[in-house]
Amino acid sequence: MSELTLEQAQGLLLERIKEIKETERIPLWDAIGRVTAEDIFAKHDQPPFPRSPLDGYAVRSGDIKGASKGSPARLTVIDEADAGHVSKTKVVAGTAVRIMTGAPIPEGADCIVGQEDTDYGEDTVEVYEKISAYENYCFAGEDYKAGTKIIDKGMKLGAVEIGILASLGLREAYVLRKPRAAVLTTGDELVLPGEELKPGKIYDSNLYTVVTRLTALGAEVVRKGRTGDSKEEAAAWIRDAGKEADIIITTGGVSVGKKDIMHDVLKLLNCERIFWKIAVKPGMPTLCAQYEGKLLICLSGNPFGAAVNLELLVRPILSKLMGRKDLELKRIRAVTQSAFPKRSGVTRYVRAFYEDGSVRIPKGSNASGILSSMCGCNCLIEIPAGTPELKKGEEVWIILI
């Protein structure tokens, strides 16, 4: 079977994905990063009443016409209006109400004089500044009016959007449910962190990388597990996980060795193979299938290969499942600060740090089995197939991760 390009592989996966339609109502506290399932309209004006933007005096602009330091307007202070309390006093000619920021503006007043433009008087106040009608005056509904659409369906909720929902008086958000993912790592050599590292064994890092990255991308990891290089065991685990998950991700066992069991696992599961092998490095032997309507993405066990293909293949799937454009792969231009001297036969991804238009390749190997040099990296340089070598100062495409 000939290798697909990354775009072909992504296309074959994405055409099988339908956006999640199921919804749930959740507390605003838990809504960060979730996608709204409804348009949100304001039920009241914000602010609900005209309010003072300053600490000062609520006055009638007609009473302070021409006021200045040399010729102040003198007004009788008849009440105090504090935030959270409604003053029943009416401001009539020659009077002022001492007012605090956020307090409702009393009837009769049409502007606020900031206290720094007065003598801070208690019983009478001298005003040194003329203020026009509706200057220093917050109108009811100036943030938003009742009936206005405030948030569009399909929007990702950040802290500010959650604050807006709270300003509407809502305690809950109506959101799409999260995509459910199951993660299986395979390999007789794997032991879990915390267990003893016996000869021939290595710690399972993929389980942690894949599970935490999926969580960060907005998925709910409903199952995580590990099996040895046993096709029966792996098939049974996937069969079980498929009852719950929208997408199943495995690592290991996709190459051509005797213990590369995932090919047989697909046969045991009796599922449709979508493709095997993509013309990318790392992660060329990625194997993808459809099992009971769900995508089964089998990544290479090499930690860098798994991490890269999680970005290149799984992130776009999550983006489509949640309708989240912000998760789509974004390529930007950057100038290399260091060279990458290897020729690339297929499209190659190199771990790197991006900052201010420049991209730096870390010291250490870019090999697919090496994870440590990826520490702190925030992007992948995409080197097109056939590129002889990358020179310092060259402009390249990168994908932010």
Q: Out of 252, 283, 305, 316, point to the residue binding Mg ion (CB under 5 A).
A: 252
Contact partner, 202, from ligand AMP, Mg ion, none, Cβ < 5-8 Å per class = ligand AMP
Q: Give the binding range for ligand AMP (CB under 6 A) out of 105-113, 236-244, 245-253, 317-325.
A: 245-253
Whole-number Å distance between alpha carbons of 65 and 111: 12
Whole-number Å distance between alpha carbons of 400 and 312: 11
Q: Out of 121, 141, 187, 316, point to the residue binding ligand AMP (CB under 6 A).
A: 187
Task: Report the residue number, 56 or 282, with the smaller CB distance to Mg ion.
Answer: 282
State the alpha helices, DSSP H only, in 113-179.
Answer: 159-167
Task: Report the residue number, 280 or 327, with the smaller CB distance to ligand AMP.
Answer: 280
Tokens of 145: 């009016």
Mapping DSSP to helix (H, G, I), strand (E, B) and coil, where does residue 224 land? Answer: strand
Q: Out of 86, 197, 202, 400, point to the residue binding ligand AMP (CB under 6 A).
A: 202
Task: Report the residue number, 202 or 339, with the smaller CB distance to ligand AMP.
Answer: 202
Task: Report the residue number, 259 or 273, with the smaller CB distance to Mg ion.
Answer: 259
Residues 6+ apart with CB under 8 A from 309: 278, 280, 282, 283, 286, 297, 299, 300
* Residue with token string 């013309």: 279
Q: Are 318 and 219 in contact (CB under 8 A)?
A: yes
Longest CA–CA separation in the chain, Å: 97
In whole angstroms, how close is the CB of 301 to ligand AMP at the nearest point? 2
In angstroms, the first-to-last Cα distance of the chain is 30
Return the half-sphere exposure (C-beta side, CA atoms, 13 A cut-off) of residue 263. 10
Binding mask 145-174 for ligand AMP (x = CB under 6 A): ------------------------------
Cis peptide before 384 (omega within 30 of 0): no
Binding mask 28-67 for ligand AMP (x = CB under 6 A): ----------------------------------------
Q: Say whether residue 104 binds ligand AMP (CB under 6 A).
A: no
Binding residues for Mg ion, rule: CB under 5 A, are 187, 252-253, 301
Q: Which residues bind ligand AMP (CB under 6 A)?
A: 185, 187, 189-190, 202, 204-207, 251-255, 300-303, 369
